[in-house]
Chain A
Amino acid sequence: MKKFLTLFAAVLMLLSVLSGCKMGSNQSSNSKSVASPQELKPFGKYKKTVTYTIGKATPGIPKLPKGQTYEDNAYTKYLKDTLNIQSKDKFEAQTGDPYDQKVSMAVASGDLPDIMAVNADTLRQLVANDSIADLTDVYKSSASDFIKAKYNSYNGRALKAATFDGKLMALPSTQNANIPTMLWIRQDWLDKLGLKAPKTVDDMEKVLTAFVKKDPGNNGKGNTVGLALSKSVGGNYGSLFVADNIFATYNSFPRQWIKQNGKVVYGSTTNETKQGLSKLADWYKKGLIDPQMAVRDSIESLIISGQAGAFFGPWWSGDYPLNSAIKKNPKANWKPYIISKNGDGKITAYTQNPVSEFYVVRKGFKHPELLPKIASAINDKLVREDKNYKPVVDFVRGGYDGGKPLNVMINFNDATAQMYKDLKATVDGKKDPKSLSLDDSTSYNNIENYLKNPKNPDPNAWSGYTSRIVAGKLMANTPIKEVNPVFFDQTKSMKLKWANLVKLEDETFLKIVTGQKSVNDFGTFVKQWKSTGGTQITQEVVQAIKEK
């Protein structure tokens, strides 16, 4: 019997090795580039046009100028002009599930495009199958210094996520800091009731109570919502309608793997989170939170229609959803404030995963250096040296989207704060508007429009000013004690069990906040969470952190 088992295991291993070989059947052709030293330079132009195939992630709404296509537009033209390269779409699909679907089909059929974006899970699979190229050398030779500096602003966290056994296997898109999220509040309601802007959680409670009781928006009794809150109460970094600011005052960081007293824990299961939840449950009971939060399908509608008096959101809330709110009611004066523990304006907040997606090169592709070169051209040369390149300027000004063959985005970690500083300096006349980047100069136009007519601004001007100057200032000036989550990946057991655990967590949190469960049931939740896979996953996470 034992013999049989060993034989069986051996056959299985042989099979897996064989299938592994088949996946990377191109490996005989070494992934060394055939480019000349001149062509290996970040902005070196090729003598002969290099054509490369890509997996193209398209924006939801097709927004290309007339006559331009995904393979032939301002950006591909720019790359053709500067590097003499041309993209060809192996497949096109909308960013998100449709694109992931296409990628898994390409991986399953072993027919990969030369360059494509994948998620962390697929990246690991591709590395294990040995079907993507090692980019360590070409990153050194063909990424520009500016790009390297951008990656380095994450203290090595960004590239580390794409490094396996000391080899760089992908170039990640970065996600720069977007904290703190702020409390957006109806300033006109505050003024009407003669209230001061809230600074602490208790202040906030007073303000919300006044909003709900006194109905400053004339919505009719009982129709005013104090705080608009999402069903997934907290733990989504930098997004709209979550109460992370409240949780953070209790040192609670739901949905994050954090280190607490030297031990790795899942933030949703800590005692601190229980305290945060009980605060929200208390508010819900007092009617300060949207009573229909559990079934509300569009929270934006509350804000746009003028029913809600406050919500938590990131700096860009001025663009969305408040742009529509101002269009609907120009007198709705929304303003952002920082809620802190003692009202001193200092806050604690968790940081996010520094990388979003990974760009990989197919093993066997003759020009692996193309990826760092394209990344450099788009994120360095085009935004600095060539920022007046006319076709791209027209493209951006026209509000078009989806031109870049690869959406690889590399930003400095403090890009948003920097944006505020640049715009502020320009408004103060200390910086030449012409020196602004393309995006910033569009924003600057809006800000200028606002400043010309602050009494009765155009909604877009209001949005530009409120997001980038008012909220931007808060972002740049608020001292933050950062908590760095220790793990963002997936572990083995997560594949099977995580979805259920998240569901358990979502349901319990929502029930506790809406009073269907008492806060004391939190302990039961933690126990159940642990016994249905949480303990095992925590161990795996600890192990994975050790190995990294």
Chain B
Amino acid sequence: MIKSKTFGSYLSDIIIWTVLLLLTALCFLPLMNMVSVSFSDSTAAQANQVGLLPVNVNFNSYRLLLEDAQFWRSFMISVERVVLGTALNLLLTVLMAYPLSKNTKQFGARNIYMNVMIFAMLFSGGMIPLFIVVKSLGLMDTIWSLILPGAVPIFNVILLMNFFKSIPDSLEEAAIMDGASKLKILFKIYLPISLPALATIGLFSIVGHWNDYFSGLLYMNSSANFPLQTYIQQLNVDVTKITDPSQLKAIASVSNKTLNAAKIVVSIIPVLLIYPFLQKYFTSGLVIGSVKE
């Protein structure tokens, strides 16, 4: 079919493109400014003279960030946390969501589990009880303190459970007819067609683990064990609160502004790298072609 291009369709194309470009600029320009500031001369940045292009390009802030071993150590801790944490999150989410997607006839205690989970999601014990639990379990200063307290993300469980519910029962019935076990049904049939949902909650987990600085602050006693975001958060100095001249010396040597920008740039790189790989799953169809009704 050949589309004839009328004036109206041209006009609407132009409008759509303009709006989209404006929106893109809106998102992109602050980021661009951030990158420019991070490469700029610190006095120029302090004087608010950096726009979209760096002024007097230099790498001082990055040098300060990269020079010390702690940065890389923290980086690796964060990577380890994301890999372990996301794997555990996905495994537990899947194992939990599958039985919960069944009705009470198939799984009698379903509602009890469901209520307990929703209760736990709405009412948490609070920071201090959680801290004491983690401490008494001997998890302080270990990577597990960052992973285990959030090992079952209930919100994701509900998300995946609803997705599983939308899968036609006939698929499972057909598998049962062929003699498949429950585990086999879950891993060989449900999971392959749930890739979009898994990609979504996987991304949630990755971003959540990567961006979280607070649990590192809470559960790590030695600053050598801080994950990247906690480490970066510690670099943030509020200049207006300082009245001690000796501390100012250290700060004056590097502009807080360029350093902050460098931190932000570094911390978004991994997520930026991962995103395109997961994105393709979001657009691909859900259960297209699995059964014919």
Task: List chain B residues, Cβ under 8 A from A101.
Answer: 217-218
Say yes or no: A109 contacts B131, CB within 8 Å.
yes
Q: A interface, how many residues as a size bin?
A: 35 or more
Say yes or no: B250 contacts A401, CB within 8 Å.
yes
Instruction: Kindly state whether residue A420 has any CB partner on chain B within 8 Å.
Output: no
Say yes or no: B240 contacts A240, CB within 8 Å.
yes
Say yes or no: A92 contacts B223, CB within 8 Å.
yes
* Complex interface: stretch among B46-54, B168-176, B197-205: B46-54
What CA separation (Å) do A69 and B69 show in the bound complex?
12
Instruction: Kindly state whether residue A189 has any CB partner on chain B within 8 Å.
Output: no
With both beta carbons as reference points, the residue of chain B lying nearest to A69 in the complex is identified as: B224
Contact with B along A96-118 (1 / 0, CB 8 A): 10100110010011010000000
Say yes or no: A320 contacts B235, CB within 8 Å.
no
B130 CB to closest chain A CB (Å) equals 10
What CA separation (Å) do A62 and B235 show in the bound complex?
8
Say yes or no: B248 contacts A301, CB within 8 Å.
no
Of the candidates B238, B240, B250, B255, which one forms a contact with A59 in the assembled complex, judged by CB atoms under 8 Å apart? B250
A292 CB to closest chain B CB (Å) equals 12
Say yes or no: A90 contacts B132, CB within 8 Å.
no
Instruction: Kindly state whether residue B4 has any CB partner on chain A within 8 Å.
Output: no
Instruction: Kindly state whether residue B211 has any CB partner on chain A within 8 Å.
Output: no
Say yes or no: A328 contacts B43, CB within 8 Å.
yes
With both beta carbons as reference points, the residue of chain B lying nearest to A305 in the complex is identified as: B47
Instruction: Kindly state whether residue B12 has any CB partner on chain A within 8 Å.
Output: no
Known: A70-B223, A92-B223. A324 touches B234 (CB 8 A): no
Known: A109-B135, A298-B46, A401-B247. A324 touches B221 (CB 8 A): no
B243-257: which have CB < 8 Å to A? 243, 245-255, 257
Instruction: Kindly state whether residue A383 has any CB partner on chain B within 8 Å.
Output: no
Instruction: Kindly state whether residue B222 has any CB partner on chain A within 8 Å.
Output: yes
What CA separation (Å) do A401 and B224 show in the bound complex?
17
Known: A109-B132, A319-B252. A304 touches B243 (CB 8 A): no
Contact with A along B247-283 (1 / 0, CB 8 A): 1111111110101000000000000000000000000
What CA separation (Å) do A237 and B251 show in the bound complex?
21
Say yes or no: B240 contacts A320, CB within 8 Å.
no
Instruction: Kindly state whether residue A238 has any CB partner on chain B within 8 Å.
Output: yes
Task: List chain B residues, Cβ under 8 A from A63.
Answer: 250
A27 CB to closest chain B CB (Å) equals 21
Of the candidates A61, A111, A467, which one forms a contact with B237 in the assembled complex, judged by CB atoms under 8 Å apart? A61
What CA separation (Å) do A328 and B240 show in the bound complex?
21
B57-84: which have CB < 8 Å to A? 64, 68, 70
Of the candidates B135, B245, B250, which one forms a contact with A61 in the assembled complex, judged by CB atoms under 8 Å apart? B250
Say yes or no: A399 contacts B221, CB within 8 Å.
no
Say yes or no: A321 contacts B46, CB within 8 Å.
yes
Known: A60-B236, A304-B46, A319-B248. A92 touches B222 (CB 8 A): yes
Say yes or no: B248 contacts A320, CB within 8 Å.
yes
Instruction: Kindly state whether residue A58 has any CB partner on chain B within 8 Å.
Output: yes
Say yes or no: B245 contacts A319, CB within 8 Å.
yes
Task: List chain A residues, Cβ under 8 A from B105.
Answer: none
B112 CB to closest chain A CB (Å) equals 32
Say yes or no: A439 contacts B246, CB within 8 Å.
yes
Say yes or no: B243 contacts A298, CB within 8 Å.
no
Q: B interface, how many residues as a size bin?
A: 35 or more
Known: A61-B237, A63-B250. A108 touches B132 (CB 8 A): yes
What CA separation (Å) do A420 and B253 show in the bound complex?
24
Task: List chain B residues, Cβ under 8 A from A399.
Answer: 249-250, 253
B249 CB to closest chain A CB (Å) equals 7
A71-104: which have CB < 8 Å to B? 89-94, 96, 98, 101-102
Instruction: Kindly state whether residue A239 has any CB partner on chain B within 8 Å.
Output: yes
What CA separation (Å) do A306 and B49 show in the bound complex?
11
Of the candidates B217, B241, B248, which one forms a contact with A98 in the assembled complex, judged by CB atoms under 8 Å apart? B217
With both beta carbons as reference points, the residue of chain A lying nearest to B223 in the complex is identified as: A92
Task: List chain B residues, Cβ under 8 A from A321.
Answer: 46
Instruction: Kindly state whether residue B86 has any CB partner on chain A within 8 Å.
Output: no
Say yes or no: A62 contacts B68, CB within 8 Å.
yes
What CA separation (Å) do A545 and B255 show in the bound complex?
43
B225 CB to closest chain A CB (Å) equals 9
B69 CB to closest chain A CB (Å) equals 9
Contact with B along A318-354 (1 / 0, CB 8 A): 0111011001100000000000000000000000000
Task: List chain A residues, Cβ under 8 A from B44.
Answer: 328
With both beta carbons as reference points, the residue of chain A lying nearest to B248 in the complex is identified as: A320
Task: List chain A residues, Cβ under 8 A from B252.
Answer: 319-320, 323-324
Of the candidates A62, A91, A108, A319, which one forms a contact with B128 in the assembled complex, judged by CB atoms under 8 Å apart? A108
Known: A105-B131, A319-B248, A319-B249. A61 touches B235 (CB 8 A): yes
Instruction: Kindly state whether residue B89 has any CB partner on chain A within 8 Å.
Output: no
Instruction: Kindly state whether residue A300 has any CB partner on chain B within 8 Å.
Output: yes
Instruction: Kindly state whether residue B40 has any CB partner on chain A within 8 Å.
Output: no
Known: A98-B234, A301-B47, A324-B42. A93 touches B217 (CB 8 A): yes
Known: A304-B43, A316-B248, A321-B46. A105 touches B234 (CB 8 A): no
With both beta carbons as reference points, the residue of chain A lying nearest to B250 in the complex is identified as: A401
What CA separation (Å) do A62 and B49 show in the bound complex?
28
Instruction: Kindly state whether residue A273 has any CB partner on chain B within 8 Å.
Output: no
Instruction: Kindly state whether residue A144 has any CB partner on chain B within 8 Å.
Output: no
Query: Which has the most chain A C-beta neighbours within 10 Å: B128, B221, B224?
Result: B221
Residues of A within 8 A of B (CB): 58-63, 69-70, 89-94, 96, 98, 101-102, 105, 108-109, 111, 175, 178, 230, 237-240, 298, 300-301, 304-306, 314, 316, 319-321, 323-324, 327-328, 399, 401, 439, 467
Residues of B within 8 A of A (CB): 42-44, 46-49, 64, 68, 70, 128, 131-132, 135, 217-218, 221-224, 233-241, 243, 245-255, 257, 259
Q: 6 extra interchain contacts, Cβ-Cβ under 8 A, other than A62-B223, A89-B221, A319-B245? A: A60-B237, A98-B217, A108-B131, A108-B132, A109-B131, A301-B47
11 contacts between A and B (CB under 8 A): A60-B236, A90-B221, A91-B221, A91-B222, A105-B218, A239-B240, A239-B243, A300-B239, A301-B48, A324-B46, A324-B255
